[in-house]
Structure 1
């Protein structure tokens, strides 16, 4: 056999052997059995609580009370009840506090349902969840359980124990991260709330309201005061604050905001709470340092065990301030 033929034969043999060798290595069971690196599980952000509560109200309340108002690119639920008179005095826009819905049983629902009988229409808003107070999306690392093929039966009886420990320990910690608040988040919260108040004012004007009042409860009073301080809308004539308080991340504080307001303001607070009394006194003293005298305070007394009487007391005082000629003691 010639040298050329031998070389050709050797090359042919190599071309047949090498692909088989590589294929055998790729199919090696030892290689396939190597555990892969666990991939972090990206947990999606939960839907906003306010959206879930609004959806529940849509199912429970009459359709004629529901208004979908547009704030920027999104819509939100507001509850509307016109005044029960041919000559309404105006519209009271109700801003709930943190964690409260547009039909919250304390303060919000009693006022929105009763004000129409005093010649005032009521428009109760749904506020968005506060981004500055929400937990951030988090990544939960998962660790696969070890596999022992030699003791499969033994592993089957003990495999659940490490999983239970993770569920009760590490997973619990992962579900409660500490959120970092930034100025950008607080600013974003204010912009979203202000957009909803803008939409509420536009709706009230469409009803030809002669007068518009902002009424805020809890932190809702803070956002109402901040809106009026920063935007100074000419459509709003009065502000009502009920059990007002500043959010944890609210800057400036409520006492600083009320000093900038020139419209008539009523500050309802409960004298039974030491912290509420102190904060109310600071607001009153700050108002006395100003030249205008449009700030007034009304002390309320808590009635433990008699919620209906407490809500009626608040309604009568609010009605008396809005309609002074019909005030009752």
Structure 2
């Protein structure tokens, strides 16, 4: 074993001192990097969803893609022409929150199937109400012991103008969709909303006083900004035929359905029918419920809108799908 000489020890100590001085100079001259200086990427879930949808449809269904504009903003629409020689009108479809215009539940089956039954379809993009990718707001306690969050909730409760989030923006998009259908030669329009999209469609028909058309609500859902009871009261103001197609799965669903039916019974004009159907039994015949749903919606539109002379009549054996049995 070799002995470590005194010269070797001194050389090692000298090198250690040089390295230490170099590290001190580097740490003193380098700027301090804080967490706020690190660039952050905010997620945009809706833009990502819509971009993926456009990419998927561009291969075989590029002709369905429409770019509409409302209030200076562009948004996506998916349009399908009626596939018969006797078109009856156009159905505007509003998807639910955090969805898209080709959502696999309800929206896609209806927009693809109804054109075979003389109705064109136009599904439009609805902005997200919020929630996902939204920064968390930390409640700041004031000197009086209350928080900013508590004050905002109190102000919201005190507001007399209960509206849905992005309501004006969605209404402008519906107006733009109607204008597009008229440009394409369809004079009759019906509205269909799914979940929160049904809430927008209901509010639109009530606020605009729409008549001589039709409204379809599929599994309507309220939001935190508008309670179920408040949303149901809009039905009292409706002046057009309405189909309320819901699933009675929970006590909340049953209570909300009773509130909507009570509001419908208080309408001054009872000539426009309000039909409420518990769709839960329909799911027994079809796991997805798409076929029964399509037949319900088609039958409702046929019976409650102005019909031109259709060459294809409803089969006799299917009529039970469109009417509630008086013995039920």
TM-score (structure 1 length as normaliser):
0.69
The match for 1:45 among 42, 45, 50 is 42
Residue 265 in structure 1 maps to residue 242 in structure 2: yes
Contact map agreement 1:243 1:276 (CA 8 A) in 2? no
Shift of 1:129: 1.9
Shift of 1:130: 1.8
In structure 2, the residue matched to 1:255 is 232
Aligned-partner Cα distance in 2 for 1:55–1:37:
35
Contact map agreement 2:209 2:239 (CA 8 A) in 1? no
With over 3 angstroms needed to count, the CA separation of the structure-2 counterparts of 1:31 and 1:45, relative to structure 1, is closer
Unaligned 5+ runs, structure 1: 1-27, 140-179
With over 3 angstroms needed to count, the CA separation of the structure-2 counterparts of 1:288 and 1:77, relative to structure 1, is same
After TM superposition, the structure 1 = structure 2 runs for residues 75-86 of structure 1, keeping only pairs within 5 Å, are: 75-86=74-85
Q: If you compute each CA radius of gyration, which structure gives the higher value, 1 or 2?
A: 1
With over 3 angstroms needed to count, the CA separation of the structure-2 counterparts of 1:305 and 1:30, relative to structure 1, is same
With over 3 angstroms needed to count, the CA separation of the structure-2 counterparts of 1:34 and 1:198, relative to structure 1, is same
The match for 1:202 among 176, 179, 182 is 179
In structure 1, the residue matched to 2:5 is none
Shift of 1:39: 5.4
After TM superposition, the structure 1 = structure 2 runs for residues 158-237 of structure 1, keeping only pairs within 5 Å, are: 189-233=166-210, 237=213
Shift of 1:83: 0.6
Aligned-partner Cα distance in 2 for 1:32–1:94:
63
With over 3 angstroms needed to count, the CA separation of the structure-2 counterparts of 1:272 and 1:134, relative to structure 1, is closer
What value does the CA root-mean-square deviation take over the aligned residues? 3.4
Contact map agreement 1:110 1:311 (CA 8 A) in 2? yes
Contact map agreement 1:269 1:277 (CA 8 A) in 2? no
With over 3 angstroms needed to count, the CA separation of the structure-2 counterparts of 1:75 and 1:226, relative to structure 1, is same
Q: How many residues align?
A: 261
Aligned-partner Cα distance in 1 for 2:63–2:33:
56
Contact map agreement 1:83 1:121 (CA 8 A) in 2? yes
Contact map agreement 1:50 1:127 (CA 8 A) in 2? no
Residue 55 in structure 1 maps to residue 35 in structure 2: no
For 1:222-275, what per-residue CA distance to the aligned partner results, in whole angstroms no more than 9, with x for missing partners?
0111122223356x7111001111122236832021111111111111234432
Shift of 1:89: 0.5
For 1:50-93, what per-residue CA distance to the aligned partner results, in whole angstroms no more than 9, with x for missing partners?
22222112122210111111122221111111111222110000
Aligned-partner Cα distance in 1 for 2:195–2:238:
18
With over 3 angstroms needed to count, the CA separation of the structure-2 counterparts of 1:32 and 1:228, relative to structure 1, is same
